[in-house]
Structure 1
Amino acid sequence: MSVTTCKDGVWSIRSKCVPASCAKRPPSTRGARVRFYSRMHNAKARYECFPGYTLQIDTQSKKYPGAGLVNDPLGTIRCLHGEWVGTPVYCEPTRCPRLVVDKMISIQMKPSTLPNAGQLFTNEAVQGTQAFLYCPKGYHIQGPSVVVCHESHWLPSTDARCERSIYPVLPTEWLYRLP
């Protein structure tokens, strides 16, 4: 460590104050990745939602210091004087509308296995939810028997219907029985 001295009215070293960098990486949030390239003062970090998720303001989270002081777009935070500053956000899974199918079809829903996908609601399904479609005995499904909620749509389309089976259905154990 050097010592600054004053000799004949002139300082030996000119000091300069530099704003502090952020010691930690930007905070993570659910349903998103955070992109940043520096932790230096005034560096920005941007939250990008995973496919099938939408950016939301996190009103439950502790506000970052100085939130609202910078005029960055939603989903962007900034390193100011050693702290990440901005509006806290999270990414919420998109929801699909209520599944409408042929009146003979019964539906069994399997909730999403995606992390942070949230709950399955009675009239809505979140990103990644699977719906298995079944026909009553004596009928078979014409069209897709499984549909998936993806980015607010059911894929493939839900135009399946039940048709009367002409031939009896073979028990599956007949097809896979070992000798």
Structure 2
Amino acid sequence: MHLFFPGQCLVPGIEKGSITNGIEGVWVDDSTTVLPGCDNGLVLNDSRPMRCNNGTWTIIPRCVPAACNSPPPLLENGHRVFFRLSHNARARYYCMAGYELVGDNKYMTCKNGKWTGNRPSCKEDHCDNPGTLKNGKILKNGSNGKFDFHPYIVSIKHGERLTYECKRNYKLVGPRGAACVNGKWSPSHKPKCVEARHPVFRKIFYPHQERAPARMY
């Protein structure tokens, strides 16, 4: 049986933690210092030592979820946006132009000191082969000039451009070209090549018989 002496303190229990240099529920003398600790993934909300001060503990800390000690993982061909490292903080992931996120997951969350959730990834966008243009042709703009789009060309990357041209005696109605923007052609509609109609020119010189007869005096 322990005798209580004035100024002693009862070592408290720490929820989701423990006292590392003492025993909970035991009376200790005045000026005694004890060190609380927390379970994995939790930290003390006050890191100062607990000291018995004439029957009262100077502090009784709580165990709270730990903050993340590092930023969220990087994303290849993308970037992350986050404002805090605290518990439950979220990081939003975006892909660079010409890339798109794979799957529905866009976030990672800080939980008990670790970033949780599947890190997303970015895959490169490609535009479909534009096919053909009736009575015309579609040319791909390259560093060495222009060349025809062939059926086997399937990897058309973001930023690449094409030009529409019509055959002789046809004129272009619609856009003269397009660009691959995030996996889609812009503008999305193709032009048409329509038969050109030559304008009727006014006659400048008339044959003698088409002229009005001269007036006789």
CA distance in 2 between counterparts of 1:76 and 1:91 reads 13
Q: Which residue, out of 130, 133, 144, partners 2:175?
A: 144
- Superposed displacement of residue 6, structure 1: 3.8
Q: Which residue, out of 97, 101, 116, partners 1:55?
A: 101
Root mean square deviation, CA, Å: 3.7
Greater Rg by CA:
2
- Match of 1:5, SS state, is strand
Q: Residues 83-122 of structure 1: matches in 2 within 5 Å?
A: 83-102=114-133, 104-110=136-142, 122=153
Deviations 1:57-87 (A, max 9, x none): 5xxxxxxxxxxxxxxx711111123221110
Name the residue aligned to 1:129.
160
CA distance in 2 between counterparts of 1:163 and 1:27 reads 58
CA distance in 1 between counterparts of 2:116 and 2:161 reads 39
CA distance in 2 between counterparts of 1:27 and 1:89 reads 10
Name the residue aligned to 1:77.
108
- Superposed displacement of residue 141, structure 1: 5.0
CA distance in 2 between counterparts of 1:163 and 1:99 reads 22
Residue identity (%): 27
CA distance in 2 between counterparts of 1:150 and 1:2 reads 57
Equivalent residues of 1:94, 1:126 under 8 A apart: yes
CA distance in 1 between counterparts of 2:95 and 2:141 reads 25
Deviations 1:17-74 (A, max 9, x none): 33322233222324444232311012111223456643215xxxxxxxxxxxxxxx71
The answer for unaligned runs of 5 or more in structure 2 is 1-46, 144-151, 199-217
Q: TM-score, normalising length from structure 1?
A: 0.58
Question: Higher relative CO (CA 8 A, sep ≥ 6), structure 1 or 2?
Answer: 1
Equivalent residues of 1:148, 1:155 under 8 A apart: yes
CA distance in 2 between counterparts of 1:89 and 1:15 reads 38
Aligned residue identity for 1:155 = S
Name the residue aligned to 1:60.
none
The answer for unaligned runs of 5 or more in structure 1 is 58-72, 112-120, 167-179
CA distance in 1 between counterparts of 2:194 and 2:123 reads 35
Q: Does the C-alpha gap of structure 1 residues 107 and 24 become closer, same or farther in structure 2, counting only changes over 3 Å? A: same
CA distance in 2 between counterparts of 1:3 and 1:94 reads 56
Name the residue aligned to 2:57.
11
Name the residue aligned to 2:44.
none
- Match of 1:18, SS state, is strand
Aligned residue identity for 2:108 = I
